[in-house]
Amino acid sequence: MPDFFTRARDFLTGNQKDTAPVNRYEGFTANGAVVLRDRRGTSKAEIPDVSEKGMHGMGDDPMAIYRPSGAKSIDASKAMGNFTGWTFAAVNAIASEVSNIDFRLYQIAGEDHDEKDDHPLLDLLEGVNEDMTGIELKYVTMAHLELTGNSYWLLDGVTDAMGQPRAIYPLHPGRVRVKLDKTTFPYKLSHYEFTIDGKVYKFEPYQILHMKWPDPSDPFVGIGVPQTIPSWIDSDNYAMEYNRKFFINGASVGLYIQTDTNVEANIDRIRKGWNNRQEGVENAHKTPVLPKGAKLEHTGIPQRDMDFAKLTDATRDRILAAFRVSKTILGAAESDTNRATAETADYVFSKRTVKPKMMLVVSYSQRISRTALRRRSLHHLHRHDARGQGI
């Protein structure tokens, strides 16, 4: 049979000879670079570039929180990972304010409110556990609520609905799953699952105090601010990263090298030589020397035409507005702030931002108050600011 037909038959029947891959995986170096060997036997080690990963729904992008899909909202783990930038500034302002608030316990008898200064419940909220204080608990709880809309307290030592907790452990919201009993309608809460180090722990509803910012579309799981404004946060993240890369690349935008060669090894050599000699702030404004047949080209939009000042200001204002935190509270107001405007900002922040959140937190805390005291209608947990005034 002629050789041509033999090859055609082998191709159609799948009887093809094994061919060496373009690059064969060899292993890793000590610094994490991937070692590959090409057909010619040349070995090379490179650290993979994150920007070269596939953009399937931006799932692999460490900066992206937004995922354009049919999902209800952003995953809690992704939201927790965006505790940076203006999101951090807003959440830190709210959580820091809440951590300064003192809880007070009252015994209610008709119209009379008798404050209890010494009680195991107050000791629990102040001592929390062996590794955490009451101030930390309030900060972490509010941060979890702001970022994911959910805060899960593990009530250690509770064995039934009326048990008294020995300690409180706040759980990472991104590792908790709310499981429902869907055998009948309306659905009921079945249990909670917490995953850590590959292990899944199951907790009954009475073992978890689940606080949440209400989600109109889900009565069982809350929703946080970053999960509702992912595109705004992404815009700020990418703008900051673009500016960072701008200086890393020697304050140059849109440069590429055009060369006549089509040999992969030569192209790699030119690219690595450019990166070694020109990339980075320390190499800025050095005169480049290119090999024969290569020239430097410019592309993209100049930095000044992108007007990053207005872009970053706009994204900042939108993010802060979503958290209901003013620039004055953060000390970022453009104009000088006098005492009157500062006090007004504090008042508005306390009344419009902190008070509604604390009202919700205290409503959930009534559960611990009831179980710890075993008297459902006689006690009330109240929140006061650091100055001892009810808010």
Of 23-32, 196-205, 240-249, the range with the highest mean pLDDT is: 196-205
List strands edge to edge, sheet with 112-116. Answer: 112-116, 102-109, 379-384
Per-residue pLDDT tens digits for 52-110: 333 334 445 655 665 444 445 678 888 898 898 999 999 999 999 999 999 888 887 88
Of 105-109, 116-120, 171-175, 336-340, the range with the highest mean pLDDT is: 171-175
Q: Which residues contact 107 (CB under 8 A, 6 or more apart)?
A: 113, 114, 115, 116, 378, 379
Q: For residue 209, how far is the Cα from the chain centroid? A: 22
Contact 138, 98 (CB under 8 A): yes
Distance CA 158, CA 42 (A): 63
Average pLDDT over every residue of 14-39: 56
Higher-pLDDT residue of 391 and 152 is 152
Per-residue pLDDT tens digits for 264-281: 666 677 677 766 665 654
Least confident of 12-26, 96-110, 310-324, 346-360: 12-26
Least confident of 23-27, 135-139, 312-316, 325-329: 23-27
The pLDDT value recorded for residue 133 is: 95
Q: Is the peptide bond before 288 cis (omega within 30 degrees of 0)?
A: no
Q: Two tokens at 8? A: 């055609």
Distance CA 65, CA 148 (A): 12
Contact 203, 139 (CB under 8 A): no
Q: Two tokens at 125? A: 């909220």
Q: Two tokens at 146? A: 């702001």
Higher-pLDDT residue of 141 and 4 is 141
Residue 128 pLDDT > 50, yes or no? yes
Q: Which residues contact 205 (CB under 8 A, 6 or more apart)?
A: 189, 190, 191, 192
Q: Two tokens at 181? A: 């009993």
Model's pTM, two decimal places? 0.70
The pLDDT value recorded for residue 191 is: 97
Which residues make beta-bridge pairs with 128?
A: none
Position 213, amino acid? W
SS3 27: strand
The pLDDT value recorded for residue 372 is: 52
The pLDDT value recorded for residue 107 is: 81
Dihedral pair phi/psi, residue 56, rounded to 5°: -75, 95
With a pLDDT cut of 70, the percent of the chain lying above it is: 60
* Other C-beta atoms lying within 10 Å of the C-beta of residue 297: 9
* Other C-beta atoms lying within 10 Å of the C-beta of residue 142: 25
Closest to 330 measured CA to CA, from 84, 90, 87: 90
Higher-pLDDT residue of 189 and 55 is 189
Q: Which residues contact 268 (CB under 8 A, 6 or more apart)?
A: 44
Confidence of residue 146 (pLDDT cuts 50, 70, 90): very high
The pLDDT value recorded for residue 134 is: 94
Contact 96, 151 (CB under 8 A): no
The pLDDT value recorded for residue 378 is: 37
Higher-pLDDT residue of 299 and 115 is 115
